[in-house]
Copies of this chain bind each other. A is one copy, B any other.
């Protein structure tokens, strides 16, 4: 398998119960709330795989962050106030300086939402630290998700 298509099998699961304030007048989760859930799950996926707390990730790896450049949600089943769901997240692909995260929200056996994120390993430019650049993701990071 080429470097650019390494698939990570490490997965992170989180259970949550839908809150009143996350729902819209139709009584179901308002779509933007799923993107909050995805974002948090990505941070927690990294914490689980690397053992580094989200707030320490930048300092630990000398990066600015893991900037989101693209995200998508596909809403298959409505998720309602009080529903307990599980969000399962994993890296679906690592590239040189970016990676994709796959999120699946299930309610019992049923797949309710599929999501994805593309993120960039964001660093400061060595010749101009005020500027941002995509950095190479360390092999040790990728290995932890293997």
Q: Which residues of A contact B (CB under 8 A)?
A: 19-21, 23-27, 30-33, 35-36, 39-40, 43, 53-56, 64-65, 68-76, 80-82
Contacts and interface: CB of A to CB of B under 8 A. Distances in A.
A133 B83 CA distance: 22
> Taking the full assembly, how many copies of this chain does it contain?
4
User: Which among A20, A39, A81, A82 has the greatest number of chain B C-beta atoms within 10 A?
Assistant: A20
Contacts of A23: 24-25
Contacts of A68: 31, 75
B70 A82 contact: no
Contact of A74 (B36, B70, B76): B70
B43 A20 contact: yes
Given A23-B25, A30-B39, 18 more contacts: A20-B25, A20-B39, A20-B40, A20-B43, A20-B54, A23-B24, A25-B27, A26-B64, A32-B32, A32-B35, A32-B39, A54-B82, A56-B82, A70-B73, A70-B74, A71-B72, A72-B72, A72-B73
A33 B19 CA distance: 13
Given A70-B74, A75-B69, A19 B36 contact: yes
Contacts of A36: 19, 21, 32
